[in-house]
């Protein structure tokens, strides 16, 4: 007689913990062939609110760490992901119905992307910062700083897509509330387990699963969210509404990016869109 | 023999400017009539009507955008960067040549002291064109690629009419865009003189279009479907409306909005210079400055001494005729703004803050407000939270650096901040912790074409000035990185 | 004679150092910007006429050359009494400023004209001599009829932090002055920083100097607007603390009416009208006077004058 599996309960990832949705709701997640994979937590607006509180609480500490330290932590996520690659390949195959080779290539790319971004932590300031030669006796330096708490609607790619939108935000010191792909939420929670065991402080990344149309408007109108990345919003009208709601506190907005090739090298834009430039002046004298 | 040293009036001659009785719109290189209802611009120091100015209707805005598009497609985007640069250098030089004329006109239309328009605004305007001219043929080294966006719609405020025009037009043109710009309805005259300068420079028609009008004209520009880029400087309220209006479009937007900057004075500050910085921070340009140091945070241990010095200094401010070369504080730009400043000041008193105004005689005509300071202000007071945009300073105290940071950051704005201390490590620590786009340490209200300017949070997004200022006017590929 | 309020401060070298280094710092750029800002004031017509006459009354007409002779000093003293012989409404200067050996000559020429005799003493300009020689130098000058003594501080001692030594030196010279007024020269060009100028100002004021003076005129830079600004702030703050007024004398390098007016604007706006008086502000100058006279003539005649119309003494 074969052994009965112990199935995993997929919950949310908020503030370093894995709570169920406070609403008590869940929704059915099927595999590519329409068979039940699991019940995912269906996050509510209150879960989103809690996630923002957790992200805000984590922001000071995370953005205050040295760039070198953030690099180490993000690199550590890559290491732990590498160690659990079999699990992720299996999950990707199950949820997306893709070949083993394809699943492997996505996991490879996700790990490599984390490593790529890890290296940016202590270089982005050098690339986008400036010493400014003002016409006067002043020291004048512009440096990038993270915008703060960023809400993200992740694209469909359950692992590579998610990593590609989250890594560029946290590497620069932002903290994140991400709504996982509605169709493929399970990998996001498993990735949460990786982050939770990678020295990433609780609250730096918070993962919600559920309905984008239900949760995203609460994040877009939230006055303590500094930016919103609409990459995964597929409905153009919803994207426009979310952008309009974001105007309430002038969130930095990244518009949807349909057709993104997630395997291509990303460039700087995902980092710079959620960076502020601070310019400091000081007189030069004796 | 009396020791009283009375400065005799030293008025700058107004004869250098030739204000026409009426002005049209500048579209496609020509001055044309506007389809809207003409409005009057007045000298805020005297309430004298200076000229009648055309109001651009939706059709006029459309004509301007079409002219800009034509110029973009046929001329400007095809021209080499080196050639575009030459036009911008020409403009910079003509601004220098006609500098006094521009300064006088700015002071007459805006109310700011000639000392400021002559020594600050106009020189920085010329420098801005000179700086961005040099970028035009070097964009590929900027880090943002060298692909222009197309037609830029630009709406600017009344506090630095010509300077804000320069901040908008110089980088836009350098990057290969064409522009439709709307100056503020109370200060259109230097923008219209700038249009003449474009003619003198033989700038191809349609590259710069100036349309005058108020909110409706601005809305028509922002919402025009053929505008690729919107740049706005003004109130946070209008900035939010613009952000809503462009939602769901492909328009690129930059916003420079309000502020409520903390100017933080520690007990080890160079006090005499700090007092100058406080005065410059809030009374420069009548306090009509988005990055004004309108909240003074002073360490309790030196609060009394700083206030004594500040009041003594404020008493020497010369308020009056903007064209007098000795005037330090000019006229409030409009009756509407004056009413707003008065209202918030009255609220300050009603909320229990203590009001002190510099003893100065104000002219009987025109819009005037004496330099004013409120002490005993707490974070909860409206005068500590809302942008007054006038010569009114709110003074709060703090005990520790952490308290100073908390109070300074405790605002939806994040444009600028000031720090005064002789301790180097504290400056750097404060500069790190203040959530503001510009931090002036042991100085205040300094501007330079090479130095990026812009806010955090509700003070807007995007940067103007410096290499960073190019990003707003170039196509940065969201999916494949920058060139 | 030193100010009692500061007895604790001058008790030891370390307490004096603590006090001087506890004074608010000076930001060089901010200070220079303030001075330049005041320099943009536009002084016209009646205000200019007032300023020119006031500046003439504030001039310490100076000759401090190795080649000075009694004849030269007599000529200078005559000019100090009647700067513009063609115009009796032209005021006299405040003083003539000479080396101690020329004091008697100057005194004799000036008589009871009201124009003071100032003498540079204490091994001017370097100050490098033994203390008893400096004191003897001072007493000689006073005995010869000097109303004012312009002493130099020991910049070496100051720069090496021996503040108490400098303080005591000033106090002793002040005592040697008797009834003569003491001006304390810092040689700000050698002190280099504005922080040092502020400290020297307080040191001299606490030690009983009646005036603080920028320079000997023998070192570049001599008087500058920002240095004078620091000293004016010091005398203003000193009065606020002690109730006692101290004068300020920029010396060296002030050559034109335009320059002089900038200084007067600064006095007016930093210290106020109380200091707009020869008792509290002086210019140490020689060529300045003729430019003031030339501008004065322009004000009264309405046409530009030329150097040939003013005496070279």
Count other C-beta atoms under 10 Å from residue B184's C-beta. 25
Measured over all CA atoms, what is the biggest interatomic distance in chain A, rounded to whole angstroms? 86
* CA angle (B259 as vertex; B258, B262 as ends), nearest 5: 175
Residue B246 per-residue DSSP state: T
What average pLDDT does chain B have?
97
B262-448: CATH topology is: Aldehyde Dehydrogenase; Chain A, domain 2 (3.40.309)
End-to-end alpha-carbon separation of chain A, Å? 86
Same fold, B14-257+459-473 and B262-448: no
H-type helices in A21-84, by residue range? 45-64, 67-83
**Is C28 in CB contact (< 8 Å) with chain A?**
yes
The one catalytic residue in C147, C150, C195, C259 is: C150
Beta carbons of C24 and B277 less than 8 Å apart: no
pLDDT score of B480: 38
Cα–Cα dist C96/C120, whole Å: 11
* Encoded tokens for B35: 């389809």
pTM over 0.90: yes
Strands (E), chain C: 59-62, 95-98, 116-120, 148-152, 181-185, 211-213, 247-249, 283-285
The domain of C231 spans: 4-301
SS3 string, B203-237, reads CCCCCEEECCCCHHHHHHHHHCCCCCEEEEECCHH
Beta carbons of B446 and A254 less than 8 Å apart: no
Residue B117 per-residue DSSP state: I
pLDDT score of B3: 78
Per-residue pLDDT tens digits for C235-275:
999 999 999 999 999 999 999 999 999 999 999 999 999 99
Helix or strand holding residue B100 (H, E): helix B99-110
How many residues in total does chain B contain? 483
ipTM: 0.95
Task: Say if C160 falls within a structural domain.
Answer: yes
Cα–Cα dist A191/A195, whole Å: 6
**B26: distance to nearest CA of chain A, Å?**
32
Q: Mention the CATH class of domain B14-257+459-473.
A: alpha beta
* CA angle (B341 as vertex; B338, B345 as ends), nearest 5: 140
Cβ contacts (< 8 Å) between C193 and chain A: which residues?
286
Task: Say if C131 falls within a structural domain.
Answer: yes
Residue A146 per-residue DSSP state: E
- Tell me the Ramachandran region of residue C131: left when phi exceeds 0, alpha when psi lies from -120 to 50, beta otherwise: alpha
Cα–Cα dist B474/A56, whole Å: 33
Among B215, B257, B183, B154, smallest CA distance to B473 is for B154
Among C23, C50, C198, C232, most B C-beta atoms within 10 A, so best to mutate, is C50
H-type helices in chain A, by residue range? 45-64, 67-83, 85-96, 100-120, 124-128, 160-171, 186-196, 212-221, 236-246, 269-272
Contact C310, C294 (CB under 8 A): yes
Beta carbons of B438 and A283 less than 8 Å apart: no
Beta carbons of A249 and B441 less than 8 Å apart: no
Phi, psi of B24 (to 5 degrees): -100, -165
- The band of C1, judged by pLDDT with boundaries at 50, 70 and 90, is low
Torsion, CA A115, CA A118, CA A122, CA A125, rounded to 10? 100
Query: Cis before residue C221, ω within 30 degrees of 0?
Result: yes
Query: Cis before residue C125, ω within 30 degrees of 0?
Result: yes
Cα–Cα dist B368/B68, whole Å: 40
Task: Say if C189 falls within a structural domain.
Answer: yes
Residues of B with a known catalytic role? 256
Q: Which residues of chain B have pLDDT under 50?
A: 479-483
Beta carbons of C24 and B442 less than 8 Å apart: no
Q: Nearest by CB to B457, from A127, A226, A257: name it.
A: A226
Phi, psi of B356 (to 5 degrees): -135, 130
Beta carbons of C192 and A286 less than 8 Å apart: yes
**A138: distance to nearest CA of chain C, Å?**
8
> Which residues of A touch chain C, with CB atoms under 8 Å apart?
136-138, 283-286
Cα–Cα dist A161/A154, whole Å: 7
Provide CB contacts within 8 A for B299, sequence distance 6+. B265, B266, B267, B397, B398, B399, B404
Rg (CA), chain B: 22
Q: Give C 140-199 residues with CB within 8 A of chain A.
A: 192-193
Cβ contacts (< 8 Å) between C273 and chain B: which residues?
3-5
**C48: distance to nearest CA of chain B, Å?**
8
Phi, psi of A203 (to 5 degrees): 95, -15
Cβ contacts (< 8 Å) between A129 and chain B: which residues?
none
Cα–Cα dist B251/A242, whole Å: 16
Per-residue pLDDT tens digits for B60-79:
999 999 999 999 999 999 99
Pairing outcome for strands B416-420 and B262-265: parallel
Kindly report each contact of residues B377-384 with a partner whose C-beta sits within 8 Å and lies 24 or more positions away, as own/partner: B377/B295, B377/B348, B377/B353, B379/B407, B379/B410, B381/B348, B381/B351, B381/B352, B381/B353, B382/B344, B382/B347, B382/B348, B382/B351, B383/B344, B383/B345, B383/B347, B383/B348, B383/B351, B383/B353, B384/B260, B384/B295
- The band of C4, judged by pLDDT with boundaries at 50, 70 and 90, is confident
pLDDT over 90 at C139, yes or no: yes
Cα–Cα dist C153/C170, whole Å: 7
Contact B466, A278 (CB under 8 A): no
Give the CATH number of domain A26-283. 3.40.605.10
Domain boundaries, chain A: 26-283
Cα–Cα dist A195/A84, whole Å: 12
Neighbours of chain B (3+ CB pairs under 8 A): A, C
pLDDT score of B478: 57
pLDDT over 80 at C16, yes or no: yes
Structural domain count of chain C? 1
Cβ contacts (< 8 Å) between A265 and chain B: which residues?
481
pLDDT score of C3: 66
Task: Say if C309 falls within a structural domain.
Answer: no
Give the CATH number for residue C44: 3.20.20.70
> Which residues of B touch chain C, with CB atoms under 8 Å apart?
3-10, 115, 119, 268-273, 276-277, 316, 325-326, 422, 442-443
Phi, psi of B438 (to 5 degrees): -130, 130
Domain boundaries, chain B: 14-257+459-473, 262-448
Cβ contacts (< 8 Å) between B442 and chain A: which residues?
282-283
Cβ contacts (< 8 Å) between C41 and chain B: which residues?
7, 325-326
Neighbours of chain A (3+ CB pairs under 8 A): B, C
Q: What is the pLDDT along chain A (286 residues), one digit of tens a residue?
A: 689 999 999 999 999 999 999 999 999 999 989 999 999 999 999 999 999 999 999 999 999 999 999 999 999 999 999 999 999 999 999 999 999 999 999 999 999 999 999 999 999 999 999 999 999 999 999 999 999 999 999 999 999 999 999 999 999 999 999 999 999 999 999 999 999 999 999 999 999 999 999 999 999 999 999 999 999 999 999 999 999 999 999 999 999 988 899 999 999 999 999 999 999 999 999 9
Task: Say if C312 falls within a structural domain.
Answer: no
Q: Is C249 a catalytic residue?
A: yes
């Amino acid at each position: 007689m074969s052994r009965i599996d112990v199935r995993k309960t997929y919950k949310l990832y908020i503030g370093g913990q894995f709570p169920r949705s406070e609403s008590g709701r869940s929704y059915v997640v099927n595999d590519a062939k329409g068979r039940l994979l699991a019940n995912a937590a269906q996050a509510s607006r209150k879960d989103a609110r809690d996630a923002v509180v957790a992200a805000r609480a984590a922001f000071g500490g995370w953005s205050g760490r040295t760039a070198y330290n953030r690099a180490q932590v993000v690199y550590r996520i890559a290491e732990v992901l590498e160690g659990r690659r079999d699990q992720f390949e299996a999950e990707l195959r199950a949820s997306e119905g893709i070949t083993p080779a394809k699943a492997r290539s996505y996991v490879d790319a996700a790990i490599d992307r984390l490593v790529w971004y890890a290296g940016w932590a202590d270089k982005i300031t050098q690339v986008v910062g400036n010493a400014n030669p003002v016409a006067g006796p002043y020291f004048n330096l512009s440096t990038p700083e993270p915008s703060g708490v960023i809400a993200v609607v992740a694209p469909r790619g359950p692992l590579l897509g998610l990593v590609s939108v989250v890594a560029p935000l946290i590497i620069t010191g932002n903290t994140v509330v991400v709504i996982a792909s509605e169709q493929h939420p399970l990998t996001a929670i498993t990735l949460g387990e990786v982050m939770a065991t990678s020295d990433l402080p609780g609250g730096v990344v918070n993962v919600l699963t559920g309905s984008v149309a239900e949760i995203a408007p609460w994040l877009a109108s939230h006055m303590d969210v500094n930016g919103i990345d609409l990459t995964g919003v597929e409905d153009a009208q919803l994207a426009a509404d979310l952008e309009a709601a974001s105007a309430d506190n002038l969130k930095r907005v990244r518009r949807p990016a349909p057709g993104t090739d997630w395997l291509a090298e990303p460039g700087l834009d995902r980092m710079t869109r959620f960076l502020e430039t601070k310019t400091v002046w000081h007189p030069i004298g004796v | 023999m009396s020791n009283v040293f009375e400065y005799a009036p030293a008025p700058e001659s107004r004869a250098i400017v030739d204000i026409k009785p009426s002005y049209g719109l500048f579209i496609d290189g020509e001055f044309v009539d506007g389809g809207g209802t003409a409005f009057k611009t007045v000298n805020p120091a005297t309430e004298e009507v200076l000229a009648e100015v055309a109001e651009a209707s939706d059709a006029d805005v459309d004509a301007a955008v079409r002219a800009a598009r034509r110029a973009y497609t046929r001329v400007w985007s095809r021209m080499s960067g080196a050639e575009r640069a030459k036009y911008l250098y020409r403009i910079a030089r003509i601004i220098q040549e006609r500098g006094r004329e521009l300064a006088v006109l700015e002071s007459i239309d805006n109310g700011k002291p000639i000392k400021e328009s002559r020594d600050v605004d106009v020189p920085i305007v010329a420098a801005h064109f000179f700086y961005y001219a040099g970028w035009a043929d070097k964009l590929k080294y900027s880090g943002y690629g060298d692909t222009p966006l197309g037609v830029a719609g630009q709406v600017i405020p009344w506090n630095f009419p010509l300077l804000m025009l320069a901040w908008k037009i110089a980088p836009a043109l350098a990057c290969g865009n064409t522009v439709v710009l709307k100056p503020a309805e109370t200060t259109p005259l230097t923008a219209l003189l700038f249009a003449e300068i474009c003619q003198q420079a033989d700038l191809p028609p349609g590259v710069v279009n100036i349309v005058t009008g108020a909110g409706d004209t601005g809305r028509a520009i922002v919402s025009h479907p053929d505008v690729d880029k919107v740049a706005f400087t003004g109130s946070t309220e209008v900035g939010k409306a613009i952000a809503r209006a462009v939602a769901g479009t492909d328009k690129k937007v930059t916003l420079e909005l309000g502020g409520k900057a903390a100017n933080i004075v520690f007990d080890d500050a160079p006090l005499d210079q700090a007092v100058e910085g406080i005065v410059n921070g809030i009374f420069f340009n009548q306090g009509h400055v988005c990055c004004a140091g309108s909240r003074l945070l002073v360490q309790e241990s030196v609060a009394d001494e700083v206030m004594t010095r500040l009041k003594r200094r404020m008493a020497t401010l010369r308020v009056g005729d903007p064209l007098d070369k000795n005037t330090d504080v000019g006229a409030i730009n409009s009756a509407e703004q004056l009413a707003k400043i008065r209202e918030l000041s009255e609220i300050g008193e009603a909320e229990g803050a203590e009001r002190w105004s510099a003893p100065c005689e104000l002219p009987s005509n025109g819009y005037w407000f004496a330099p004013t300071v409120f002490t005993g202000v707490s974070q909860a007071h409206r005068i500590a939270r809302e942008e007054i945009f006038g010569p009114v300073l709110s003074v709060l105290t703090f005990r520790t650096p952490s308290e100073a940071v908390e109070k300074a950051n405790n605002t939806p704005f994040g444009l600028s901040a000031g720090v005064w201390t002789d301790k180097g490590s504290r400056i750097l620590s404060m500069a790190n912790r203040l959530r503001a786009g510009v931090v002036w340490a042991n100085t205040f209200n300094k501007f330079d074409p090479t130095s990026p300017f812009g806010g955090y949070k509700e003070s807007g997004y995007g940067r103007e000035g410096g290499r960073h200022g190019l990003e707003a006017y170039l196509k940065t590929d969201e999916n494949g990185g920058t060139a | 004679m030193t100010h009692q309020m500061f007895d604790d401060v001058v008790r030891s070298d370390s307490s004096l150092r603590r006090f001087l280094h506890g004074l608010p710092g000076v930001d060089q750029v901010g200070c220079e910007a303030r001075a330049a800002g005041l320099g943009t004031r536009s002084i016209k017509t009646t205000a200019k006429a007032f300023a020119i006459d006031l500046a003439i009354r504030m001039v310490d007409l100076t000759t401090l050359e190795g080649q000075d002779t009694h004849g030269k000093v007599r000529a200078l003293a005559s000019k100090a009494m009647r700067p513009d012989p063609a115009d009796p409404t032209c005021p006299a200067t405040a003083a003539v400023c000479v080396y101690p050996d020329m004091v008697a000559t100057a005194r004799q020429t000036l008589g009871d004209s009201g124009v003071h005799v100032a003498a540079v003493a204490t091994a001017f300009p370097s100050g490098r001599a033994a203390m008893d020689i400096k004191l003897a130098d001072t007493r000689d000058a006073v005995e010869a009829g000097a109303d004012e003594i312009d002493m130099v501080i020991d910049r070496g001692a100051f720069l090496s932090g021996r503040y108490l030594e400098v303080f005591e030196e000033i106090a002793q010279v002040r005592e040697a002055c008797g009834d003569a007024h003491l001006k304390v020269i810092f040689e700000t060009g050698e002190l280099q920083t504005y922080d040092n100028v502020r400290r020297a100002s307080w040191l001299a004021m606490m030690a009983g100097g009646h005036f603080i003076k920028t320079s000997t005129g023998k070192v570049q830079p001599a008087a500058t607007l920002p240095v004078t600004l620091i000293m004016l702030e010091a005398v203003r703050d000193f009065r606020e603390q002690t109730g006692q007024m101290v004068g300020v004398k920029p010396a060296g390098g002030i050559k034109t009416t335009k320059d002089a007016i900038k200084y007067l604007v600064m006095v007016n706006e930093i210290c106020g009208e109380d200091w707009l008086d020869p008792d509290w502000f002086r210019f140490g100058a020689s060529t300045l006077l003729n430019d003031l006279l030339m501008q004065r003539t322009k004000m009264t005649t309405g046409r530009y004058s030329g150097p040939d119309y003013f005496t070279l003494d």
